[in-house]
Chain A
Amino acid sequence: MEKEKEGEERIGVFVCRCGVNIGGVVDCDEVARYAATLPGVVCVSVNKFTCSDSGQADIQEHIHKYNLNRVVVAACTPKTHEPTFRVCCEEAGVNQYLLEFVNIRDQCSWMHIWNHEGATKKAKDLVRMGVYRAKLLEPLEESEVAVDRNALVIGAGVAGMQAAMDLGDMGFHVYLVEKEPSIGGRMARFDKVFPTNDCSICILGPKMVEVARNENIEIMSYAEVVEVEGFVGNFEITIEHKPRYVDIDKCTGCAQCAGKCPVEVPYDFNEGFGIRGAAYVPFPQAVPLRAVIDLENCLRSEGKECKACIKACERGAIDFSQEKKYSKVKAGVIIVAPGFVTYDPEPRNDYGYGLYDNVITTMEFERLLNAAGPTEGHVIRASDCKEPMRLGFINCVGSRDIKTNVHCSGGVCCMFNMKNAILLKEKRPEISCYLFYMDIRAPFRGYEEFYNRAREIGIRFVRGRPSEVIEKANGNLVIRAEDTLKGVVRNIEVDLVVLGTGIVPHSDIEKISKMLKIPRAADGLFMEAHPKLGPVDTVLGGVFVAGGASGPKDIPFAVAQGSGAASRAARLLVTGKTKIEGITAASDESCIGCGLCVDACPYGALTLDEKENRVMVVGAICKGCGTCAATCPVGAMEQRHFKNVQVEAQVKNLFALA
């Protein structure tokens, strides 16, 4: 039942105090009194919280009592609350597009906290703009589209794996795309994980196998998503499969080829420590456990006819004729979990990293500690291969620093560096460890206890950011720092320095953000739809984020987000349908068929009908940006809900001429 009557607009204006958020600055009663004088307004109401149950009931009562056919809500921001009031209007029989939302909080009362008079005046102007626009609003219908029941997960770290497993277990087909030759992500490289210090690969390995066994998950390793087209429910994804030069069906992962490969390449999985061949198996627990040949470092790329790996492979799996392949898949939802990288101190030579042999990062130290690492778990230093007896751990390198990255790594780095110090100290209690910190952030369950344990077993915490590290002739290092608790400058000589590097976005985040149009926050990581209430949603329908790519996270947090994103995505997959906004373009008969808009449309949603000499809009493809409407020289193309007359109604009422 739509209460739409030709030529008669009955507008209700609802002003929200939002507690004191608006009411404390803007004189809401004055705004309401003013609104009542505007043409078409038949009732006004002021509520303490319009979005509350009683506030919404008040709107619906007014709609029925005054037979309203337009609703103007002057409250917070439509970005968060428009959906709430749209539902409220629909329930009371007013088409949701006949709601006009006026922002008098985020863009008025909060902006002008000390200028009550100015803010009230502005609020009145904003309400007037809203009322005049509301008069011209037209009812629209949302269209319903079917949702493809496949899911795409980008990144197979612990968050992506969790998301894929959850969706797979629910019975949905999942394409799990991983850039590296093996799934597992960062967690596969860790030795132990805080605060329980359980062996990382021992708990991750079975999970990786489970992912591979899940019949609904299609792992696409050594592959990258290069193009995404379509919209919620109907994404078309192009995936680039890098050639492994190994027949994945024949290879058994025996690593004979790796043993015979004459080339020596720094072993990336070990953070560049140790070596691997150009033919190699990523790591012993890799999934899929298959060899890969890195052609860039292979002798064949230099034109040499090396056949070492071909001869070594009993199953004849080596295949140098492989080429880059592309495949296309369809998916209804996309979960983005490309993870993070740690800050690289090399370009700036922070604390002599890259200049001094005995300054390493905590990720490198992690591999030294690892029994499967380059030194089989023995910590040695590079300059003389001796075991260091005094270590200095420096926190916040490349985080909380205006010179590099002001953002905090959310406690992950504190815990990470502290854990490595504890692991070493537990192995060799006679080693002395100094940990330089600014503040220790140990926020979750068991973390504070972990910090206490670190102090109990004798790790010496020095509060202060070191100013510099000086190398001595024998390779030892002197850390110079102000101990801010004692108020003295200390010069502490150590044998090895470990830098606790911060969490920063990696290049893939920028690429994915541009491809999918996911906004990024100030720290360069993905921005969620709402920092509190939509932590795994993005502003894009059908696209979700999980893990370290949307802010620094520890493992339980990343796993929880993986599950969270999977369940958010499953809502669409289960119902198999979703609604699409009614804000689309529409052309009328005054179209002259010039085709300017066809070229301007970024989606190819417009086609020129040669016979009729008129442009037609394909509704399902149109995303409703309105660029075509702005391009049209004769005003034949309109953007629904943002028609020229509707926007102009606002513009004409911008300022009270008084």
Chain B
Amino acid sequence: MGAEQFDQTYPKFEPRIVVFCCNWCSYAGADLAGVSRYQYPPGVRIVRVMCSGRVEPVFIFDAFKNGADGVIVAGCHPGECHYVSGNLNAERRVENTRKALEYLGLGAERLRLEWISASEGMKFAEVMREFTEEIKELGPSPVKSRVDVKNPKS
């Protein structure tokens, strides 16, 4: 994708995406995307944790409270978790949190679980582009508008 095309694809509303990456697979995958220069929109922010199993629902809610339009929890593929089974804990927790988000009216589709290995730089960038597109369709997070109202600067 050339610079111009990239700009055309991502104008105006730039979704804010938070990705909780495990240190061993997904964070390394994000690094590989960088080394390989696979581009994705700059609205993506990565928070590093040692294992996807560390991600608590409260982190996810906090991300939405602080302006995120979408959240991804990314870990190692099942069976490849650096910590044996942390990623499976993450899977259960994300599933439950998605239900909670649906109940709260944010919509389950704003939270995603992804398995991205250290060698999947291309996949990392693809997921970021695709998810950004999806969130663009959904529009800004309803929570965010409230936060923005509180903050007169925005």
Binding site for B on A (CB under 8 A): 77-79, 103, 105-108, 110-115, 118-119, 121-122, 125-126, 129, 513-514, 517, 519-522, 527, 539, 583, 600, 602-603, 623-627, 629-631, 639, 642, 644, 647-648, 650-655, 657-658
Give bound CA distance, A527 to B41, whole Å. 28
Task: Tell me which residues across on chain B come within 8 A of A105, comparing CB atoms.
Answer: 34
Which candidate, B105-113, B114-122, B131-139, is the interface stretch facing chain A? B114-122
The list of the 6 closest CB pairs from A to B, nearest first, reads A106-B34, A626-B54, A114-B3, A625-B83, A602-B84, A118-B42
Q: How far is the CA of A125 from the CA of B14 in the complex (A)?
A: 15
Q: Which of B34, B43, B50 contacts A625 (CB 8 A)?
A: B50
Chain B residues whose C-beta falls within 8 Å of the C-beta of A623 in the assembled complex: 83
Contact of A630 among B25, B30, B53 (CB under 8 A): B53
Q: Are A115's CB and B6's CB within 8 A?
A: yes
Q: How far is the CA of A653 from the CA of B68 in the complex (A)?
A: 11
- If A107-B30, A651-B63 touch, does A122 touch B42 (CB 8 Å cutoff)? yes
Q: CA of A625 to CA of B3 in the docked complex: distance in angstroms?
A: 39
Contacts of B154 in A (CB 8 A): 657-658
- Interchain CB contact under 8 A, A629 and B16: no
What is the size category of the interface that chain B forms with chain A?
A: 35 or more
Among A519, A631, A651, the residue within 8 A (CB) of B117 is A519
Q: In the complex, are the beta carbons of B54 and A648 less than 8 A apart?
A: no
User: Which residues of chain A are within 8 angstroms of B3 by Cβ–Cβ distance?
Assistant: 113-114
Q: Known interface pairs A624-B50, A627-B54. Does A121 touch B68 (Cβ–Cβ under 8 Å)?
A: no
- Whether B153 pairs with A106 at a CB distance below 8 angstroms is no
Residue of B nearest to A126 (CB): B45
Contact B59 A651 (CB under 8 A): yes
Distance (Å) between the CB of B127 and the closest chain A CB? Answer: 13
Q: B28: CB under 8 A from chain A?
A: yes
**Interface residue B72 (Cβ < 8 Å from any Cβ of A):** no
- Residues of chain B whose beta carbon lies under 8 Å from any beta carbon of chain A: 3, 6-7, 14, 16, 18, 23-25, 27-28, 30-31, 33-35, 37-51, 53-56, 58-59, 62-63, 66-68, 76, 79-86, 89, 93, 117-120, 125, 147-148, 151, 153-154
Q: Is the CB of B42 within 8 A of A517?
A: no
Alpha-carbon separation in the docked complex, A112 to B147 (Å): 27
Do B31 and A107 touch (CB < 8 A)? Answer: yes
CB distance from A311 to the nearest CB of B (A): 48
CB of A107 within 8 A of CB of B34, answer: yes
Asked if residues A583 and B55 are in contact (CB atoms below 8 Å), the reply is no
Which of A110, A129, A519 meets B45, CB within 8 Å?
A129
27 residue pairs of the A-B complex, CB under 8 angstroms, read A77-B31, A103-B46, A106-B33, A110-B34, A111-B39, A113-B37, A118-B14, A118-B42, A121-B42, A126-B45, A514-B79, A521-B118, A521-B119, A602-B84, A625-B51, A625-B54, A626-B53, A627-B53, A627-B54, A627-B83, A630-B53, A630-B93, A644-B58, A647-B47, A651-B47, A651-B59, A654-B18
The answer to whether A514 and B80 have CB atoms under 8 Å apart is yes
Q: Which A residues are CB-close (under 8 A) to B120? A: 522
Candidates B42, B49, B118; contact of A111 at CB < 8 Å = B42
- Does the CB pair B54–A110 fall under 8 Å? no
Provide the bound-state CA to CA distance between A650 and B49, in Å: 11
Q: A111-B39, A519-B118, A655-B66 are in contact. Are A627 and B153 (CB under 8 A)?
A: no
Contact, CB under 8 Å: A107 / B46: yes
**Interface pair B16/A655, CB less than 8 Å apart:** yes
With contact pairs A79-B31, A627-B83 given, residues A657 and B45 touching in the complex (Cβ less than 8 Å)? no
- The contact of A517 among B34, B39, B82, by CB within 8 Å, is B82
Contacts of A653 in B (CB 8 A): 66
Kindly state the separation between the CA atoms of A647 and B52 in the bound complex, as whole angstroms: 13
Residues of A within 8 A of B37 (CB): 110-111, 113
- If the complex has contacts A623-B83, A625-B83, are A110 and B46 also in contact, measured as CB distance less than 8 A? no
Which residue of chain A has the shortest Cβ distance to B19 in the bound complex?
A: A107
Give, as a whole number of angstroms, the nearest-CB distance from A344 to chain B.
23
A652 touches B153 (CB 8 A): no
State whether B34 touches A602 (Cβ < 8 A): no
Whether the pair A115, B18 counts as a contact (CB closer than 8 A) is: no
A642 with B45: CB separation less than 8 A: no
Which residues of the partner chain A approach B39 to less than 8 Å between Cβ atoms? 111-114
Residues of B within 8 A of A129 (CB): 45, 47
Distance A112 CA – B76 CA, assembled complex (angstroms)? 25
**Which residues of chain B have C-beta atoms less than 8 A from A103's C-beta?**
31, 46
Question: Which residues in B have their C-beta under 8 angstroms from that of A118?
Answer: 14, 41-43
Closest to A121 in B: B42
A129, A539, A650 pick with most chain B CB within 10 angstroms: A650
Give the contacting residue for B50; candidates A521, A642, A658; CB below 8 A.
A642
Shortest Cβ distance from residue B43 to the other chain A in the assembled complex, whole angstroms: 8
Contacts A106-B30, A106-B35, A122-B45 known; A602 to B119 CB distance under 8 Å? no
Give Cα A214 to B78, complex, Å: 41
Q: Name the one of B27, B62, B76, B81 contacting A648, with C-beta atoms under 8 angstroms.
A: B62
Q: Is the CB of B58 within 8 A of A627?
A: no
A655 to chain B: closest residue by CB: B67
